[in-house]
């Protein structure tokens, strides 16, 4: 998914000027409560059936595996109503399984639950869990099914989330959904979590002036009641609930057959508003070329035998629904300026749709790979210089630091960090491994190990990367994934008399000064009278040094001139200014110590945020003098009103001379 917070930006790349839209730094955090995993971790627990580690799904849904969903929907855009039924076919995962729990927003009323021809009693709980007691317990591995019939006016739990009723510029109805991460339950009963993928069919009845689009293959299109038409779509590959899609409007269809150089033949189908038909022809023209690029890097299109395309809706971003990306009206311009967006969502078909994150902690595997696909497209069009320039433009470490870690972000979509820092981690991995090993890894990741169609974890990817790199990569990956800073490097070099004469001996030393040690390989560019030579210098510990004998006198030395590694030059003191440690973590004794470093006297402000993104405590420390070694501030774990805060996850944000440093910590009661 691409967040709908992107402004128009332009960048002059080295091989030409390319214009594209850019996602903002997401400083407007007013929407975070609706997108925040606080709902997954604490608020929903009051309903008795929510498990935060699994997303916003009922915890007791762990006891069964959904095999197939069959949705039958009658959608009236004029009235904003939905009448539906969903057949859930499932397998028991435990012995004596009898309590069936699924997710559905209480705004939608259940009319009845049918089980083998009989109606079952149910409890539709305040926490959006529905509890059903089956007549008899099922044995482990036993298959069964039931049907939920429901209706109502689906609500948007947050603007542009859930099932969205709009009109386009022709005043025609537009109905579409945005279900990521856990908004499917706001329009259909399901097990709303990413790790349980199921085969899904969707039968959609709409006014006969409209067209209804969904995932997979159109099985039939036929008249229903007078003035209504039914479209029956079936997806032949398993999907998570957040990727199930409906898109309804007065669409016109654009069709093309894409025969790639890798042997695939893929129907391209784009459903667009009539007013945007001509512009869409231009914007979607490179899709087959993009498909060919992706197949070359990632392997065959994961949904062979099915279409790929787009369905337009009234949104400013896009969403990678399986086989039919939903693309916002404001992203169809008729000038090719949204090629980055189109190729991003296409990349998701491999990374997110075929390989789905097992939990939302692993969401960077979706967004990092899709954003890296954007950089590969720039490389395809303009070569390595455009590739590097594109990555460099989205290198926003100060922004990433405020948004928190790449791995297990709270909220799931805090901003750009999972996108851009995620893609940078892949870029660094490629630079470290080399193209041959890196793209062999990517091909295997996307196609091997029984992964296609399943769910994956960060640990899975790191393990596979290690096998292709032939080295331990734990200390390469995890510091970048778990911390919100980059290594700070002190780089020194000395040129002296060498074997080949004056100024032909080079000694370099590197030292990283931040608290956590990163494992990186730094390229050193050495310019001599004969040209430029590159040397790789591994830095796996606190310090390292290396000596090189050159055949010609050294003229200049530069560390990592092409930005192969995320790092920054250290301050002269060897310690970055700002907060670098919060302890004890977790805190058990009503006190949290914030350790920080100052170069000189400076005003210091500390803010504490909870998982909802709310500021719970504000401390203006005034002008603080630097202590020898480090400074410390002790927070008594009380909020701005003097009340002890609840147990949970918090972020400390320290502001010093306009710079922010962020540390995540946990309070246990």
Considering the domain boundaries, does residue 612 fall inside one? yes
Q: Tell me how far apart the alpha carbons of residues 82 and 189 are, in angstroms, rounded to a whole number.
A: 12
Region 553-577: mean pLDDT is 84
Report the predicted TM-score, pTM, of the whole model to 2 decimal places: 0.83
Of 14-18, 314-318, 403-407, 518-522, the poorest mean pLDDT is in: 14-18
The Cα–Cα gap between 398 and 288 comes to 37
Question: What pLDDT, on a 0 to 100 scale, did the predictor assign at position 569?
Answer: 87
Q: What is the mean pLDDT of residues 66-72?
A: 98
Question: Worst-scoring range by mean pLDDT, 190-199, 626-635, 659-668?
Answer: 626-635
pLDDT the model gives residue 4:
53
- Classified as helix, coil or strand, 302 is coil
The answer to whether the CB of 355 falls within 8 A of the CB of 363 is no
Q: At what angle do helices 435-447 and 422-433 cross, to 10 degrees?
A: 130
Query: Which of these three, 519, 535, 569, is where a domain ends?
Result: 569
Q: Encoding tokens for residue 151?
A: 């209706």
The answer to whether position 217 is within a domain reads no
Structure-token pair, residue 215:
């995932």
Give the lowest-confidence range in 53-57, 122-126, 323-327. Answer: 53-57
Given this model, what pLDDT does residue 332 score?
97
Q: Do 544 and 611 belong together in one domain?
A: no
Which helix (H) or strand (E) segment is 343 a member of?
A: helix 339-348
Same domain, 510 and 564: yes
Q: Would 356 be classed as within a structural domain?
A: no
Domain co-membership, 560 together with 596: no
Nearest Cα neighbor of 319 from 160, 136, 412, 180 is: 180
Q: What confidence tens digit (pLDDT) does each residue in 420-439 have?
A: 999 999 999 999 999 999 99
Q: Note whether 508 and 553 are same-domain residues.
A: yes
Report how far residue 423's alpha carbon sits from residue 333's, in angstroms, rounded to the nearest whole number.
Answer: 26
Mean per-residue pLDDT, 559-587: 83
- Kindly tell me the sign of the dihedral angle through the C-alpha atoms of 399, 370, 461, 65: positive
How does DSSP classify residue 453?
T
What is the structure's pLDDT at 515?
84
The separation between the first and the last C-alpha atoms of the chain, rounded to the nearest angstrom, is 37
Contacts 24+ apart (CB under 8 A), 350-354: 350/294, 350/298, 350/299, 350/302, 350/446, 351/298, 351/446, 352/243, 352/320, 353/239, 353/243, 353/302, 353/303, 353/320, 353/322, 354/237, 354/302, 354/303, 354/446, 354/451, 354/452, 354/453
Last residue of a domain, one of 569, 587, 613: 569
The encoded tokens of residue 497 equal 């008399």
Confidence of residue 6 (pLDDT cuts 50, 70, 90): very low
Same domain? 585 vs 559? no
Give the tokens for residue 296.
Answer: 């070359």
The pLDDT assigned to 77 comes to: 98
CA distances from 152 to 106, 131, 160, 176, 642 (A): 10, 19, 18, 16, 44
Instruction: Tell me the C-alpha distance between 442 and 463, whole Å.
Output: 13
Q: Could you check whether the bond before residue 308 is cis, i.e. omega within 30 degrees of 0?
A: no
Task: Tell me, rounded to whole angstroms, the distance of Cα 286 from its chain centroid.
Answer: 24
* 618 and 582 in a common domain: yes
CATH number for 506: 2.60.40.1840
In a domain, residue 555? The reply is yes
Cα separation, 428 vs 413, whole angstroms: 23
Query: In the numeric block, which tokens belong to residue 35?
Result: 């997108």
Number of domains in the chain: 2
598-621 per-residue burial string, b: 16 or more CB within 10 A, e: under 16: beeebebebbbbbbbbeebbebeb
Which whole number is the average pLDDT over 574-594? 81
CATH label of the domain that carries residue 639: 2.60.40.4070
Q: Point out which residues pair with 239 in neighbouring strands.
A: 198
Same domain, 547 and 601: no
| Contact status, residue 503 vs residue 495, Cβ threshold 8 Å | yes
Same domain, 519 and 591: no
- Quick one: 596 and 639 in the same domain? yes
* Whether residue 599 sits in one domain with residue 521: no
User: Is the peptide bond between 486 and the residue preceding it cis, with omega within 30 degrees of 0?
Assistant: no
Residue ending a domain, among 519, 547, 569, is 569
**C-alpha distance from residue 468 to each of 24, 370, 454 (Å):** 35, 21, 21
Contacts by 362-366 with C-beta closer than 8 Å and gap 24+? 362/407, 362/456, 362/457, 362/458, 363/181, 363/409, 363/412, 363/413, 363/418, 364/406, 364/407, 364/409, 364/418, 364/421, 364/422, 364/425, 364/458, 364/481, 365/422, 365/456, 365/458, 365/461
Please report whether residue 398 resides in a domain: no
Instruction: Find where tokens 């973590």 sit.
Output: 585
Give the pLDDT band of residue 339 (cuts 50, 70, 90): very high
Q: Assess if residue 228 is contained within a domain.
A: no
Does 562 lie in the same domain as 530? yes
Give a yes or no: residue 284 inside a domain.
no
pLDDT band at residue 612 using 50, 70 and 90 as cut-offs: confident
Average pLDDT over residues 104-112: 95
Give start and end residues of each alpha helix (H) in 448-496. 458-469, 474-482
27 domain-assigned: no
pLDDT computed for residue 20 by the predictor = 27
Separation between Cα atoms, residue 615 and residue 38, nearest integer Å: 14
Question: Domain span at residue 552?
Answer: 488-569
How many CA atoms does the CB half-sphere of 234 hold within 13 Å? 7
Q: For 493-533, what is each residue's pLDDT tens digit?
A: 999 999 999 999 999 999 998 889 999 999 999 999 899 99
Do both 495 and 564 map to the same domain?
Answer: yes
Task: State the average pLDDT over residues 346-372.
Answer: 97
């Amino acid at each position: 998914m691409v967040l709908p917070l992107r402004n128009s930006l332009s960048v002059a790349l080295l091989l030409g000027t390319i214009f594209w839209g850019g996602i903002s730094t997401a400083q407007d955090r007013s929407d975070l409560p609706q997108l925040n995993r606080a709902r997954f971790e604490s608020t929903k627990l009051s309903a008795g059936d929510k498990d935060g580690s699994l997303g916003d799904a009922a915890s007791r849904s762990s006891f069964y595996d959904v095999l197939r969903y069959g949705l039958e929907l009658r959608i009236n855009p004029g009235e904003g109503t939905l009448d539906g039924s969903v057949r859930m076919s499932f397998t028991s995962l435990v012995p004596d399984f009898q309590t069936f729990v699924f997710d559905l927003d209480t705004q939608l009323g259940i009319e009845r639950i049918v089980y083998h021809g009989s109606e079952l009693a149910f409890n539709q709980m305040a926490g959006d869990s529905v509890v059903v007691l089956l007549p008899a317990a099922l044995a482990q591995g036993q298959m069964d099914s039931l049907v939920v019939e429901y209706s109502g006016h689906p609500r948007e739990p947050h603007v542009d989330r859930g099932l969205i009723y709009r009109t386009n510029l022709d005043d025609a109805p537009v109905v579409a959904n945005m279900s990521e991460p856990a908004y499917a339950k706001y329009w259909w009963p399901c097990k709303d979590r990413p790790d349980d993928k199921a085969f899904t069919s969707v039968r959609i009845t709409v006014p006969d002036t409209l067209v209804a689009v969904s995932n997979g293959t159109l099985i039939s299109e036929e008249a229903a009641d007078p003035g209504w038409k039914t479209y029956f779509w079936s997806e032949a590959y398993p999907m998570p609930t957040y990727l199930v899609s409906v898109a309804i409007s007065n669409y016109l269809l654009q069709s093309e057959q894409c025969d790639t150089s890798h042997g695939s033949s893929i129907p391209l189908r784009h459903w667009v508003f009539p007013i945007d038909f001509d512009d869409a022809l231009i914007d979607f023209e490179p899709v087959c070329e993009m498909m060919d690029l992706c197949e070359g890097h990632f392997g065959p299109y994961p949904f062979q035998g099915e279409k790929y395309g787009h369905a337009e809706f009234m949104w400013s971003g896009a969403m990678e629904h399986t086989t039919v990306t939903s693309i916002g009206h404001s992203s169809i311009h008729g000038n090719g300026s949204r090629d980055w967006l189109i190729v991003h969502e296409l990349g998701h078909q491999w990374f997110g749709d075929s390989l789905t994150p097992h939990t939302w902690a692993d969401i960077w595997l979706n967004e990092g790979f899709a954003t890296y696909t954007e950089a590969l497209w720039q490389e395809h069009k303009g070569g390595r210089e455009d590739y590097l320039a594109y990555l460099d433009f989205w290198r926003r470490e100060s922004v990433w630091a405020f948004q928190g870690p790449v791995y297990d972000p709270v909220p799931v979509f805090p901003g750009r960090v999972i996108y851009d820092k995620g893609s940078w981690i892949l870029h660094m991995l490629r630079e470290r491994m080399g193209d041959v090993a890196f793209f062999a890894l990517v091909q295997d990741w996307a196609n091997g190990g029984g992964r296609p169609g399943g769910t994956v974890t960060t640990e899975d990817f790191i393990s596979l990367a290690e096998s292709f790199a032939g080295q331990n990569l734990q200390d390469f990956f995890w510091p970048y994934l778990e911390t919100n800073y980059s290594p700070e490097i002190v780089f020194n070099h000395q040129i002296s008399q060498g074997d080949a004469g004056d100024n032909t001996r080079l000694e370099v030393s590197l030292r990283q000064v931040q608290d956590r040690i990163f494992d990186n390989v730094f390229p050193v560019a050495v310019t001599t009278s004969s040209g430029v030579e590159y040397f790789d210098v591994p830095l796996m510990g606190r310090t390292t040094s290396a000596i090189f004998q050159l055949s010609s006198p050294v003229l200049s030395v530069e560390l990592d001139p092409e930005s192969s590694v995320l790092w920054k030059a250290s301050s002269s003191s060897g310690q970055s200014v700002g907060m670098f440690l919060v302890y004890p973590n977790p805190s058990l004794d009503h006190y949290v110590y914030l350790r920080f470093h100052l170069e000189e006297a400076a005003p210091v402000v500390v803010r504490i945020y909870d998982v909802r993104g709310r500021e719970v405590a504000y401390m203006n420390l005034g002008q603080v003098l630097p202590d020898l070694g480090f400074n410390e501030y002790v927070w008594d774990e009380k909020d701005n009103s003097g009340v002890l805060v609840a147990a949970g996850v918090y972020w400390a944000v320290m502001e010093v001379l306009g710079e922010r440093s962020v540390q995540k910590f946990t309070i246990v009661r």
